[in-house]
Amino acid sequence: MQKITIDISKAESFLSAGAVKGLASNVLSQQQKLHDKSGAGNDFLGWLDLPSSIAADHLTAIKETAARLSAQSEIVVVTGIGGSYLGARAVIDALSDSFDLLRTNRKAPVVVYAGQNIGEDYTYELLDLLKDKDFSVVVISKSGTTTEPALAFRLLKGLLEKKYATDEVKNRIVAVTDKSKGALRTLADREGYQTYVIPDDVGGRYSVLTPVGLLPIAIAGVDIEQLVQGARDMEAATAPNVAFEENPSAVYAAVRNLLYQQGKKTEIVVNFNPKLHFLSEWWKQLFGESEGKDNKGIFPAAVDFTTDLHSMGQWIQQGERNIFETVISIENVDKKVEVPTDKDDMDKLNFLAGKRVDEVNKMAELGTLMAHVDGGVPNIRISVPQLNAYYLGQLIYFFEKACGISGYVLGVNPFDQPGVEAYKKNMFALLGKPGFEKETADIRKRL
């Protein structure tokens, strides 16, 4: 099988000669810190050898649970936020029919999401939809007390209890949570829900290849064995014994840090395939939450081209030169649509007649790359042979490994997220949560 590749030539031209090779020894030493677990956050490195450690019977059990939920459900609601939902959604959206909700001949239930926001309109509309549908819930939370998913699950559980008998309710809920502690674990054990464990040493944004991601992905009908195999092969391709120039994660980490040192403070991940929108959202969390600390870090942004060329293209072409682009390019597209000839040619597109839509898209990609590089935007290109589970598995592990290395090169702990607690403290104080009386009083003085 092929593997994803990285082209840094359109970024190296913005760097001094030999700069990438000059950083290689540092990058490899930071990678070694990951593998010998001597760096910051080393108690959250379970993802590092996760692909090669996943047993076949574990995947079989997940597939059996997915089949059970699928057989009894028109809709499965995945309830989680951040890493508890973005990885699964990235894969599901990438590999599902874009118009699956409108199909009547679906092979898998529709997967929808809850607990990823606190929008009342969204919540009302979801509950209203589910009233007349057979549905099940996969609730994903380490603690069971994270506000957004806990609130959504309380509402979904209540609706299930109105619709179904007690024994059926417990068969329509699967909890992915801590192995021994936390509110959700306590509830699941008491009510008899089937459970899967979030490993203690895997943080949320690195958890796609745990049951956090694998169960929802399997419910959607995606081949999780191929997803894991792709990740397993990329684990081998980025192992410590692989030479720097052959290790795509190491090369990517080096180039983005060199660009950052030159004042390129924003990285824009670009796709030319709308199915990759949520992969970009997952990537934003992975790098933003991993590197954005100690007043450091590349700001992760994302655009969907060619759509956003008509909104963000002007800024990228001629705005402040503090950016670089990382383009995820899908080499081969399976589904074929050719441009027809039109006898009147009123839109002046007959010059495209007989060409595939993907060829038009590829030329837009190439033309954009040339224009942006000419406009002073360094470009890293990640080529993915095909959009399928195997190559998505490679891509996910590639980014995870690169993120760990890059964070260490930057000099931060890429496995914690202390800053996300600040807003929660204020929110709880404003809502009058018990135990936050001092914070409530302090906030009232400020308002």
Task: For residue 221, give Cα distances in angstroms to 63, 96, 215.
Answer: 9, 8, 10
Catalytic residue among 289, 291, 325, 400: 289
In sequence order, what are the residues at sequence separation of 6 or more whose Cβ sits closer than 8 angstroms to the Cβ of residue 435?
none
DSSP 8-class letter at 395: H
343 is catalytic: no
Q: CA-based diameter of the chain, in Å? A: 75
Task: Report the alpha-carbon angle 146-197-162, nearest 5.
Answer: 60
Q: Both tokens of residue 379?
A: 């470009």
Name the token pair of 381.
């290109």
For residue 309, what are the contacts with CB-CB under 8 A and spacing of at least 6?
364, 368
Which of 373, 391, 371 lies closest to 383, judged by CA? 391
| Helical H segments across 238-388, by residue range | 248-261, 277-291, 313-318, 357-374
Phi, psi of 333 (to 5 degrees): -110, 130
Spot the catalytic one: 21, 37, 181, 424: 424
Catalytic one among 162, 310, 336, 343?
Answer: 310
In the block, tokens 């906030």 appear at 443
Active site residue 310: yes
Active site residues: 289, 310, 424
